Structure formats: structure tokens, C-alpha cells
Amino acid sequence: MIDEVVATLGLSGGAGRRQYAFSNYALVLACNAVALEVPWSSFGILEGVEAWSSMHHTAAEDCLLRVLHEDGVSRPHLVQIHEPGQLILSRSCIRIDKSERVVRLNLNLRHTDDAMLHLPPPPSPSTADYDRLFTRDLVALVEEWTQRARRLESSEVLASIVTAQTLRQFVLGNGGVAFIANGSMLARDGNDKALRSGVPFVSPPSLEREVTLPSGQVIKGALIPSGVTVITGGGFHGKSTLLRALALGAYDKVRGDGREGCVTASRALCLRSEDGRAVTSVDISPFISNLPVTAALDPACFSTSAASGSTSQAAAVIEGLAAGCSLFLLDEDTCAGNFMIRDSRMRSLIANEPITPFIYRVNSLWRQKGVSTIVVVGGSGDWFDVQDCTLLMDDYCCHDVTRRALQISKTFCTGRVEYNGRGLVHQLPWTHELRPRLLDLSPLLPLPLPRTHIRASEDGSILYYSPSCTLDVSKLEQRAAVGREGREATLGLGAALWWLASKRPQGLSLAELLDFYDKTREESIEPCRAVVGNQTFILPLSVLVGQAIDRLRCINAAIATEEVERKK
């Protein structure tokens, strides 16, 4: 494609990176990609950018991309420019380059983008089309882009991300796991925007706290405490809506989204059952034990190509602990019933049950492992026996009913009996020492290039990593999955897998891999462009990368021996 552009414009240059100057931008051709570069001095909001953190860079890049989609901006018909959604994400299509002191915008020429999606190619642009695009249309676009950006203030651009950072620091410093600002609009429409008829969130008085932002503005809202939080209420009263907002609390949102003040820690993880997923060498014995001999399965090193609902969820809990997660989020609607709970009548009937329900371990997860849980329930009051905080959603209004739930527990509790001699039901201690799994990502290499690129299905539900390796990511609920960004988020997962395989292929635990990813995720963008065929991709959260690794069928894993652990 680069050769075609060079030929039609009559440009000259050798192999590798080639750059051609126009009146207010430079056209860069490299690695079969076309990009324009604009000096960052042209954008007033980037003054002092050298001292900004990578998070602030992401916010500025996101803002500049949104400027290109404001009403009235004339975008050339031959160029497709990524349109961002409601989340502030690190995207490969636009970068602030500190070393070159430029803003680089990757251009998807429409006929090349269609070819990548395997659509019927339209007629190729003529020499006149390209000439008009590069010498007139893009010059006008850059002029309008920089003019609009100069009207913005950097404090305005960074306001949303500064708010989220401040709230997360407040949560961590005050023994909480999440914060929801008063006035937050949590209900969403089909485009992931605030539902106009939605009810603004108001904190229960008992949970309300004040947070002062660096600007001096004071925000009030609910601080969700550490421990076990139960969210309950009638159907269609907002339980799952609240949990969904918390699930996306690790992301920063654009100003006006309505969820800017809803935050959680970055290592919060949604858990659910996933029938049919692969599990490789996971010790699920805290939840699954004493399997029948005829099953020929070892719970202490469990592997399967098609897990059941209960085994998949047990594996997800253990994998979440291995990833260093500090908060689990669960909705009973998407969980395996026999994994979540067992009542006294069923205990009386079934004496030889291999499944230890999650409710029996949830307190010890917090008290012994430091992992909190927020669970949405509407069908079982047994959860009142293990709760530290209970929230009642009534017509989208949130009420703290912790004391009432405790009174109900004391009145109706049937769980204060021994569970097969292992401790009190609902209060089983965590006695398992989980050894790390050492992962071998080398089967992900070499990637057959350049004929095969990492691809994703149009809706982003399937990752086509290679001809022999595909991955269903539709159940990863924290993936940015609205509209076109769903596909770009899935491509980002593929890029992250390739990056880790190429840099740390063998011998590391999941926690070590994710720590490495967090430290190097920004520098991974340029090397990863080639493996996704220069399509736009979104850098994923580290917990999503961990979930993708755990679900791959083509990798190898082994539980570390005591000798290996001592050497580490």
C-alpha cells in the first residue's frame, strides 16, 4: 500500500521509514502504515507535556481524538479516523511522541481497512484522489484540528482523569474498595451513554464521605468498605446496573459520561461461570475436592478443555488470586448456582458433595487473603450470614440495610453447624497454600507473518490469534465492548499476548507476567502494530490480559514445586 501511495504522488525514498513534509504536517510511511505527524507546539493544551505521566498522555490523546469528531470538522472521505466511545483508553491510532515532540495520528485509508476486514474492495483511489487528500484535505484537517485544540485548557482536558485518580487514592487510603459519587448516572442506553430517564445515584448517609479534589471542588459519595458487600433488591431495581458501573470502575471516563466519579482499584475482577472454557493446571481444591475416582481428575492440578459451570468459576477465583486481584465482583445471574451456595436442606440430603460453595469461603478470602467481594443477590438470604455491608436497591435508590440484614441473619440463620468437620458453615478457614503456576507462552510464537495477522471478529467476541489458536472473549465482562471499540479491545488482547510471549515466554507466574505488562504496556504499542496489521487496537487492563492467558488452549502451565519457589 505504501508503494502505491509513493508511486501515485511521485515521491522518492528508500526502504524503511520515509517522511514527507507538507505545509503544516509531515506524512510518515513505515511498516505498511500511513500516519501524519504534527508538532505538539501546534496544540496549546500540550504545554508542559514532557512532565506528564503516561495516564495524562492518554487523557490528552483521547481529547485530541475527540476534537476530530466534533460537529463541523471536515474529515476527508478517503480516511477513516477512529471515533472514541465513553471510556478514556490508550489507543494505538494516536500517540504523543516525547522523543520526536510530535502528535502522531495513524490514518486508515478506507480501501485498506476494508481489505483487512475481508470486504469487497472498492475501486482504488486515483493519483488525483491521493494528491487532493495529502496536499489539500489533510492540510485543512490539521489546521482545523490544531485551532480547535488551542481553545481548550489543559486543566479541562485532564479534569476527568484527575478526579478519578484522586478518588482511587482516597479509596485505598480509607479502607474501601470503591467510590460512587452522588449524582452519578449509572444506567446506560444502547450507545453506552447516560440514560436520560435514569435516576442519579445518592449515597446512603452511613456510607457518605467527602473528597476534596486538587481544584478545591468537594465531591460527596458512597465509600464501599472492604470485606463482603451484598447488593440486593427486587428485580429491575438497579442491582446489576450498580455492579456493572463498579466493574468498569478501573477505567477513566470522558467528561459528561455520568460515571466519572465511580471508581474501583485497577485489579478488580468480574467472576462468572463459563461452560466450555479451557482450564490448564489450576489448583481448584479449595472449592472442588474428593472427586469420584472414575472422574480421573486431580483438583490440585486441574485441567480440562471444556469446564463445567462450577469448575470454570472455581478456576476463575484461583486465577484471580494468582493475578493479585484485590476485589471480586459477582452477579448471581451469571454464576453457577451449585458453586455459589448450598442450603441446609441440600446439606442434609447430600453427604458426599465435592463442591465447597463460594459463600463458605468468602469471609476467609477477605480475612486471610485480603480479597474483598461485592456480590449481587436476590434469591438467597444466606448471604446475610457472611456480609459486612448490605445495600438495598429500591427503584434505583441505594439504602444501607446492614443492621437489618444482620438481625435477619440472627433470626433465621441455619448455618452455624459443622461442615464435615472442617469448620462452621459459611465461615470455613482458608487453609490452602496455593503455589504459583509457571506459564509457558512459547506456543504463541512464532506468529506467521506477514501473511497472517492477529484478527478479531466484527463484534469483538472472538480473537483469531493464529490459524491454530482462537479465543472466545465474549465472557470477559470488563472488556471495552461497545460498538467498534469491542473489536479494537479484542485486537489489543491479541497484541498483549504476543508482546508477553515475545518478551517473557517461559518460567514466570501470572502475577509476574502482569507486573511486567503494567510496566511496559506503553512501549509495546509500536512493536505490536505489525502483528495486528496496523489496525487500531486498545491497550487492555492487566486483569483482562490475565483472563485471556488463562483461557488459551495452546499454552502450557505447571504448578511450581517447593524447590522452584525457594529459588525464586
For 165-209, write each residue's pLDDT tens digit: 999 999 999 999 999 999 999 999 988 999 999 999 999 999 999
Residue 62 grid cell: 483521547
Of 476-490, 510-524, 534-548, the least confident: 476-490
CA distance 432 to 66: 49
Checking if the pLDDT of 138 tops 60, the result is: yes
Residue 336 grid cell: 453457577
- Mean pLDDT score of the chain: 88
- Alpha helices by DSSP H, 300-357: 309-322, 337-340, 344-349
Number of other residues whose CB lies within 10 A of the CB of residue 70: 10
Instruction: Give, in order, the Cα–Cα distances in Å from 202 to each of 83, 181, 260.
Output: 32, 8, 15
CA distance 305 to 277: 6
Does residue 446 have a cis bond before it (omega within 30 degrees)?
Answer: yes
Q: Is the pTM of this model over 0.75?
A: yes
Residues 521, 522, 525, 526, CA torsion sign: negative
| pLDDT tier at 114, thresholds 50, 70, 90 | very low
User: Are both 368 and 465 inside the same structural domain?
Assistant: no
User: Are both 6 and 148 inside the same structural domain?
Assistant: yes
User: Are both 147 and 15 inside the same structural domain?
Assistant: yes
Residues 384, 389, 393, 394, CA torsion sign: positive
CB 433 within 8 Å of CB 514: no
Of 83-87, 97-101, 294-298, 451-455, the least confident: 451-455
Residue 467 within any structural domain of the chain:
yes
Instruction: Give, in order, the Cα–Cα distances in Å from 274 to each of 123, 308, 314, 475.
Output: 44, 7, 10, 7
CB 37 within 8 Å of CB 28: yes
Of 258-267, 360-369, 399-408, 528-537, the least confident: 528-537
Checking if the pLDDT of 351 tops 70, the result is: yes
Torsion of the alpha carbons at 328, 330, 334 and 337, rounded to the nearest 10: 100
Residue 484 within any structural domain of the chain:
yes
Residue 186 within any structural domain of the chain:
no
Residue given cell 471542588 in the structure block: 217
Closest alpha carbon to 58 in 541, 554, 568 = 541
User: Are both 311 and 442 inside the same structural domain?
Assistant: no
CA distance 436 to 510: 8
User: Are both 18 and 139 inside the same structural domain?
Assistant: yes
Residue 21 grid cell: 513534509
Closest alpha carbon to 28 in 83, 129, 85, 102 = 102
Mean pLDDT of 33-39: 89
Percent of the chain at pLDDT exceeding 90: 63
| pLDDT tier at 538, thresholds 50, 70, 90 | very high
Q: Please report the pLDDT score of residue 450 as a whole number.
A: 55
Count of structural domains within the chain:
3
Output 326 or 417, whichever has higher pLDDT.
326
| pLDDT tier at 226, thresholds 50, 70, 90 | very high
Roughly what angle, to the nearest 10 degrees, separates helices 138-150 and 54-67? 120
Domain that holds residue 97: 2-152
121 burial via Cβ count (<10 Å: 0-12, 13-18, 19+): exposed
Residue 183 within any structural domain of the chain:
no
What separation, in Å, do the N-terminal and C-terminal C-alpha atoms of the chain show? 48
CB 330 within 8 Å of CB 373: yes
Closest alpha carbon to 323 in 271, 252, 386, 388 = 271
User: Are both 466 and 366 inside the same structural domain?
Assistant: no
CA distance 371 to 367: 8
CA atoms within a 13 Å half-sphere pointing along the CA-CB vector of 495: 30
User: Are both 402 and 450 inside the same structural domain?
Assistant: no
Q: Please report the pLDDT score of residue 393 as a whole number.
A: 98
Residue type, 203: S
CB 5 within 8 Å of CB 28: no
CA distance 201 to 245: 11
The single-letter DSSP state of residue 133 is: I
User: Are both 483 and 382 inside the same structural domain?
Assistant: no
Output 234 or 47, whichever has higher pLDDT.
234
For residue 408, what are the contacts with CB-CB under 8 A and spacing of at least 6? Answer: 381, 384
Residue 537 within any structural domain of the chain:
yes
Residue given cell 514527507 in the structure block: 20
CA distance 302 to 299: 5
User: Are both 32 and 129 inside the same structural domain?
Assistant: yes
237 burial via Cβ count (<10 Å: 0-12, 13-18, 19+): middle
Residues 65, 70, 75, 77, CA torsion sign: positive
| pLDDT tier at 116, thresholds 50, 70, 90 | very low
Mean pLDDT of 245-256: 95
Residue type, 95: R
Output 14 or 335, whichever has higher pLDDT.
335
Instruction: Give, in order, the Cα–Cα distances in Å from 377 to each of 204, 209, 240, 341, 542.
Output: 19, 26, 9, 11, 28
Residues 324, 330, 334, 335, CA torsion sign: positive
Residue 392 within any structural domain of the chain:
yes
For residue 238, what are the contacts with CB-CB under 8 A and spacing of at least 6? Answer: 186, 187, 199, 393, 395, 396, 398
Closest alpha carbon to 463 in 449, 450, 444 = 444
User: Are both 336 and 452 inside the same structural domain?
Assistant: no
CA distance 324 to 478: 16
Checking if the pLDDT of 2 tops 80, the result is: no
Tell me which of 152, 179, 209 is where a domain ends. 152
Residue 57 within any structural domain of the chain:
yes
Measured in degrees and rounded to the nearest 5, phi and psi for residue 143 equal -65, -45
CA distance 90 to 55: 9
Residue 178 within any structural domain of the chain:
no
User: Are both 40 and 143 inside the same structural domain?
Assistant: yes
CA 374 to mean position of chain CA atoms: 18
470 burial via Cβ count (<10 Å: 0-12, 13-18, 19+): middle
User: Are both 8 and 47 inside the same structural domain?
Assistant: yes
Q: Please report the pLDDT score of residue 16 as a whole number.
A: 62
Mean pLDDT of 129-143: 87
Checking if the pLDDT of 416 tops 80, the result is: no
